[in-house]
Structure 1
Amino acid sequence: MDNEVHRGFETLAIHAGQEPDPATGAVVPPIYQVSTYKQDGIGGLRGGYEYSRSANPTRTALEVCLAEIEAGARGLAFASGLAAEDALIRTVCKPGDHVIIPNDAYGGTYRLFAKVAEPWGVSFDPVPLGDAAAVRAAIRPETKLIWVETPTNPLLGIADIAMLAGIAHDAGALLAVDNTFASPYLQRPLELGADVVVHSTTKYMGGHSDVVGGALIVADGGLGERLAFHQNAMGAVAGPFDAWLTLRGIKTLGVRMDRHCANAEKVVELLTRHPAVREVLYPGLPDHPGHEVAAKQMRAFGGMVSFRMDSEDAAVRVCERTKLFTLGESLGGVESLIEHPGRMTHASAAGSPLEVPGDLVRLSVGIEDADDLLRDLELALG
Structure 2
Amino acid sequence: MSQPPLGDSTRVLHAGLPPLVPGQPFLPGPVFAAPFVLDPVTGGEGIDWYGRPHNASRRHLETAIGELEGGDCLAFTTGMAAIGATLLSLLHPGDTVVLPADGYFTTRAFARAELAPRGIEVLTAPTAGPYPQFEGVRLVLVETPANPGLDVCDLAELAAAAHAAGALFAVDNTTATPLGQRPLELGADLVVASGTKALTGHSDLLLGYIATRDGDLLARLRSWRDSTGGSPSPFDSWLAHRSLATLDLRLARQTANAAAVADVLAAHPAVDRVRWPGRPDDPAYAVASRQMARVPGVVTFDLRGEAEVARFLTATALVIPATSFGGLHTTADRRAQWGDDAPPGLVRLSCGVEDTADLVADITRALDAV
TM score, norm. by length of structure 2: 0.95
Percent of paired sites with the same residue = 38
CA contact (8 A) 1:319 1:361 kept: no
- Which residue in 1 is equivalent to 2:265? 271
Note if 1:58 corresponds to 2:63: no
Counterparts in 2 of 1:225-374, with a 5 A limit?
A: 225-344=219-338, 347=339, 349=340, 355-374=341-360
1:375 to 325, 349, 361: 361
Matched residue SS, 1:184: coil
2:131 counterpart SS class: helix
1:235-294: CA deviation from partner (whole Å, max 9, x where unpaired): 111110000011011111111111110011010111111111111011112222211100
The whole-number CA distance in structure 2 between the counterparts of 1:320 and 1:117 is: 40
Aligned-residue Cα RMSD (Å) equals 1.8
Moved over 6 A (4+): none
1:160 and 2:150 matched: no
Distance (Å, rounded) in 1 between the aligned partners of 2:287 and 2:354: 29
- Judge conservation of contact 2:144–2:176 (CA < 8 Å) in 1: yes
Q: Secondary structure at the match of 1:27?
A: coil
**What displacement does 1:42 show?**
5.0
SS in 2 for 1:288: coil
- Structure 2 contact 18–60 (Cα < 8 Å) conserved: no
**CA 1:80–1:304 in 2, change beyond 3 Å: closer, same or farther?**
same
CA–CA distance in 1 between the matches of 2:39 and 2:23?
A: 22
How far does the alpha carbon of each residue in 1:339-376 deviate from its partner, in whole angstroms, 9 at most, with x for none?
Answer: 000003xx1x4xxxxx1111201101000111111122
Q: Name the amino acid aligned to 1:88.
A: T
Query: Superposition pairs for residues 162-201 of structure 1, below 5 Å?
Result: 162-201=156-195
Q: Secondary structure at the match of 2:128?
A: coil
Q: How is 1:87-126 mapped onto 2 (pairs within 5 angstroms)?
A: 87-126=85-124
Letter in 2 for 1:293: V
Aligned position for 1:76:
74
The one-letter code sitting in structure 2 at the alignment partner of 1:379 is R
Q: Which residue of 2 aligns with 1:49?
A: 48
- Name the residue aligned to 1:352: none
**How far apart, CA to CA, are the structure 2 residues paired with 1:161 and 1:121?**
28
Unpaired segments ≥5 residues, structure 1 = 350-354
Deviation of 1:126 after TM superposition, in Å, equals: 1.4
Aligned length: 367
| d(CA) in 2 for partners of 1:57, 1:171 | 39
- The 8 Å contact of residues 97 and 122 in structure 2, kept in 1 or not, is answered as yes
Higher mean alpha-carbon deviation, 7-16 vs 263-272, is at 7-16
**CA deviation vs aligned residue, 1:205-240 (integer Å, no higher than 9, x gap):** 111000001000012122111111111011111110
* Contact 2:127-2:143 within 8 A present in 1 as well: no
Secondary structure, counterpart of 1:49 in structure 2: coil
Identify the range of structure 1 (38-47 vs 334-343) with the bigger mean alpha-carbon deviation: 38-47
> Once the two structures are superposed, what CA deviation does each residue of 1:315-347 show, in whole Å capped at 9, x if it has no partner?
332233322100011111101001000003xx1
Q: Does 1:135 align with 2:134?
A: no
What secondary structure, in the 3-state scheme, does the structure 2 residue paired with 1:38 have?
Answer: coil
Matched, 1:67 2:66: yes
How many angstroms apart in 2 are the aligned matches of 1:105 and 1:282? 15
Q: How many angstroms apart in 2 are the aligned matches of 1:359 and 1:83?
A: 30
